Amino acid sequence: MVLIKSCFSLEPLFCRFFYLFGIFVYRCRWPMVVIPPLLSACFSVGFIWVFDLRVDDPAYVFTPRDARWKRELGTFSRLWPLDENKFIAGKSFETKRFVNILCKAKDGGNVLQPEILDEIDLLNRFISENITVPTTDGRFQLSYQDLCLGYDWKCSANEHIEMFRQMTQVGRVIELTYPKGGNKDTPAYLGTAIGDIKLNKTDGTVQAAKIIQ
């Protein structure tokens, strides 16, 4: 004979609760029909201000107020504040709302080729010279030249694209190291300009890149 030891179960409590709740709902059926829709309507009034109260900042919404990275960011912001006239895209850490356009070759190969760089240059010029956005009141159309951050009041034109084009015109990429490229006179930070790169194992120069920004 097998003895089954009794154990505590919540099922009888739930059964008892729903039995009593069913009796209550039956006796107060009309209030139970009317009150829930009224409560739902009252609680939904807040949706009128949903766009005014929305905080479109994940860092504010999903991180603690005393997070360590916020103190570190505050130090950087205080010592090296964002200056619209001294803006270098590759060294910026305060820009939160921007769009990066990443380009790849159709065949997934090296983008540091003359014909591909020519197409990327055309795309870059089209975006900076032709695309505009209206102001809130619709009175003006603002272009990239109106909104950009630059250096010495000159907008960034993705000069690295032209640098790559000039390098490929002589048949090879001249001493293009990564992430710091260029030369002693005109150094360039390429860490955010190209990606998925292949380096020469001998001298560490860039042989190919599959992504360009």
- What is the residue whose two structure tokens read 């992504």? 211
Q: What is the pLDDT of residue 38?
A: 93
The model's pTM: 0.57
Q: What is the pLDDT of residue 42?
A: 92
- In angstroms, the CA 133 to CA 138 distance is 9
Between 156 and 123, the more confident residue is 123
Q: Does the pLDDT value for residue 90 go beyond 80?
A: no
Span 124-135, pLDDT tens digits:
888 888 888 888
Q: Does the pLDDT value for residue 19 go beyond 80?
A: yes
Segment 162-182 shows an average pLDDT of 71
Tokens of 118: 């020519």
DSSP 56-89: --HHHHHS-TT-HHHHHHHHHHHHS---TTB--G
Confidence of residue 185 (pLDDT cuts 50, 70, 90): low
Span 29-46, pLDDT tens digits:
898 889 999 999 999 888
Confidence of residue 204 (pLDDT cuts 50, 70, 90): confident
The alpha-carbon radius of gyration of the chain (Å, integer) is 31
The pairs formed by 112-120 with CB atoms below 8 angstroms and a separation of 24 or more are 112/164, 112/167, 112/168, 112/173, 112/194, 112/206, 112/208, 112/209, 112/212, 113/168, 114/165, 114/168, 114/169, 117/161, 117/164, 117/165, 117/168, 118/165, 120/161, 120/212
Strands 194-199 and 187-189: unpaired
For 101, which DSSP code? Answer: -
Span 98-144, pLDDT tens digits:
677 888 888 888 888 888 888 888 988 888 888 888 888 888 888 88
- In angstroms, the CA 90 to CA 191 distance is 7
- What is the residue whose two structure tokens read 């270098």? 88
DSSP 12-41: HHHHHHHHHHHHHHHHTHHHHHHHHHHHHH
